[in-house]
Amino acid sequence: MNTIVSASILASDLSRLAEEVGRAEGAGVDWLHIDVMDGVFVDNITYGNNVVKALRRVSGMFFDTHLMIIDPTKLIPRFAEAGSDMLTIHIESAGDTENNLSEIRRLGMRAGLALKPNTPIESVYPYLPLCDMVLIMTVEPGYGGQSFIPECADKVRQLREYCRQNGFDKMNIQVDGGINADTAKIVTEAGADVLVAGSYLFGADDFKSALDSLKCGG
């Protein structure tokens, strides 16, 4: 399985966002990870559909949008219109998960379902037919720069096995939080194929070699 790297702009210099996106794109990052936080589902507030729309004007990258918001339902069409390619909602958020996932696909985006470290992996199984990707959080959502929680690798292994046994062979399994060259190796061996990395990439002296070091685990 080819490893996809999704660079999280949360760790970039937000005062120069367009340039930072250009830096990621120029280095050969596959996807751009956009963390939307509402100050309710998590402690912080980041950016929303208007920033996605602005970035769409300057970048042709695949926009992987991670919604850490309590009530995604009414905002789904706005992210579609803004230019998100993947829209990931949390299973712990409010609203009807099944309807939300269907609506994401109906509007032409890929649908992702995320779960926090303490949420059991089995809770996503009923929704897999409506998902293109499952995001297994490997830190508590809300902040960049935290340490990877090693137990989360077991969830990756369990989900990959379940997908193999139940005909979801094309399911993307994404991990998010504390990913660096060492943890990338652990999660790719467990079956993850999409790695989100923020501080490891944007904080590196050499973005390109940091990116290469994530890919060589996969």
* 3-state SS, residue 2: coil
Tokens at residue 115, please? 């779960």
Of all residues in the shown chain, the one whose CB is closest to ligand DX5 is: 198
By CB under 5 A, what part of segment 153-192 binds Zn ion? 176
Residue 131 has, within 13 A of its CA and on its CB side, a CA count of: 26
Element (H, E) at 112: strand 110-115
Nearer to ligand DX5, 33 or 160 (CB): 33
- Judged by CB under 6 A, the stretch of 19-27, 73-81, 92-100, 134-142 that binds ligand DX5 is 134-142
Give the largest Cα separation in the chain, rounded.
Answer: 46
Nearer to ligand DX5, 137 or 168 (CB): 137
* 3-state SS, residue 182: helix
Nearer to ligand DX5, 177 or 217 (CB): 177
- Figure out which of the listed residues 27, 29, 32, 33 binds ligand DX5, where binding follows CB under 6 A: 33
Active site members = 35, 176
Concatenating the DSSP letter of every residue in 77-104 gives HHHHHHT-SEEEEETTSSS-HHHHHHHH
Q: Which long-range contacts (CB under 8 A, 24 or more apart) does 163-168 make?
A: 163/128, 166/128, 168/128
Interaction partner, residue 173 (ligand DX5, Zn ion, none; CB < 5-8 Å by kind): none
Q: Which residues bind Zn ion (CB under 5 A)?
A: 35, 66, 176
Q: Which residues bind ligand DX5 (CB under 6 A)?
A: 8, 10-11, 33, 35, 66, 139, 141-142, 144-146, 176-179, 196-200
